[in-house]
Amino acid sequence: MNKLPEVKKFLTDDFEVLFENTKFKKVPGKSPELKFFNGHGEELEKMDISRLTRSELNKLMDTKGIPRKPTHDEV
């Protein structure tokens, strides 16, 4: 993961912190990927994210309709 600083920053600072219903699971020796599931837990899509920037990853989450957690100002 150290060879992918943008992805690492997204996963450690944004993924579970900013977005609802997200969980990070590290799989040693495997490229990082996002998996999207429906409400029944069925996998809908899987994508390799190793070539995306932190900004692109945040936009992807928004585009996929993953809700953001409320900020302290919204609570």
**pTM score, two decimals?**
0.87
pLDDT, tens only, 41-68: 999 999 999 999 999 999 999 999 999 9
Q: How many angstroms separate the CA atoms of 19 and 62, rounded?
A: 9
Taking the CA atoms of the chain, what radius of gyration do you get in angstroms?
13
Query: What is the phi/psi pair of residue 51, to 5°?
Result: -105, 5
Poorest-pLDDT segment among 16-20, 24-28, 54-58? 24-28
At 75, the pLDDT band (50, 70, 90 cuts) reads: low
Count of Cβ atoms closer than 10 Å to residue 68 Cβ:
14
pLDDT of 71: 80
pLDDT of 2: 79
